[in-house]
Amino acid sequence: MSALDKFIIGLDGALRTVAGLSAAGRPNPSRGLAENELDVTERRHSAGLMRVNHVGEVCAQALYASQGMLAKNETVRQQLAHSQQEEEDHLAWTAQRLRELDSRPSLLNPVWYAGAFTIGMVAARLGDARSLGFVVETERQVEAHLNDHLDRLPAQDIKSRAIVEQMRQDEIAHGAAANNLGATHLPAPVRLAMRGMAKVMTSTAYYL
């Protein structure tokens, strides 16, 4: 595949992600579950948390796209592509849930995507082992973030909780797969910087 082909495919993926045109390959985990009544405050809170999760999946599409595009090893490239497809399921599920909650995605999704794509390119330029290490740490932090959301979502919002739980299981698997392919452990300052950037994103996306 030529550089131009990769660019066109990458641009198409970016536009579809930002425009909300993602499609899930697996059934939505919340399908068939009851839509329990939420009061105004609970509905707004669930929507805020699911908007944060949707932004996380926008970033995941950007990260996996850029890292996969620059990966040297074909096995690594295939694993990143597989994880990216499952992350697209998450993107579609969270978008659907936001609509069900009468809410919307983040207004800053183009910014989130561009920033994450750039970070993914930097990680990939450092080599496959460090790029995989970035995946492992990202998924570890995402798992902790989803655990927190399971604690904070209203107990009766079983549809959102089902989506978040499946996302959590997938993120654990993605991190384990990257680790098994030879990921390098990231230094503490890098992990702290990633945590700080994630905090800025989640705090902003909850409202915007």
Q: Under a CB-based contact definition with an 8 Å cutoff, are residues 64 and 76 in contact?
A: no
Q: What is the 3-state secondary structure (H, E, C) of 128-197?
A: HHHHHHHHHHHHHHHHHHHHHHHHHCCCCCHHHHHHHHHHHHHHHHHHHHHHHCCCCCCCHHHHHHHHHH
Region 106-118 average pLDDT: 93
Fold of 44-205: Ferritin (1.20.1260)
The size of the chain, in residues, is 208
Alpha carbons 188 and 137: distance in angstroms, whole number = 11
Section 84-98 average pLDDT: 96
Of the candidates 6, 107, 116, which has an alpha carbon nearest to the alpha carbon of residue 61? 116
Answer whether residue 3 shows pLDDT above 60: no
Categorize the per-residue pLDDT at 17 as very low, low, confident or very high, splitting at 50, 70 and 90.
confident
In the structure, what pLDDT confidence band is assigned to residue 14 with cuts at 50, 70 and 90? confident
Q: What is the pLDDT of residues 121-158, one digit of tens each?
A: 999 999 999 999 999 999 999 999 999 999 999 999 99
Residue for token digits 């592509």?
81
- pTM, whole model, 2 decimals? 0.92
Is there a contact between 97 and 33 (Cβ–Cβ < 8 Å)? no
Indicate the pLDDT class of residue 97, thresholds 50, 70 and 90. Answer: very high
Residue-level pLDDT at 22: 80
50 contacts: CB under 8 Å, gap ≥ 6? 94, 97, 98, 101, 103, 160, 163
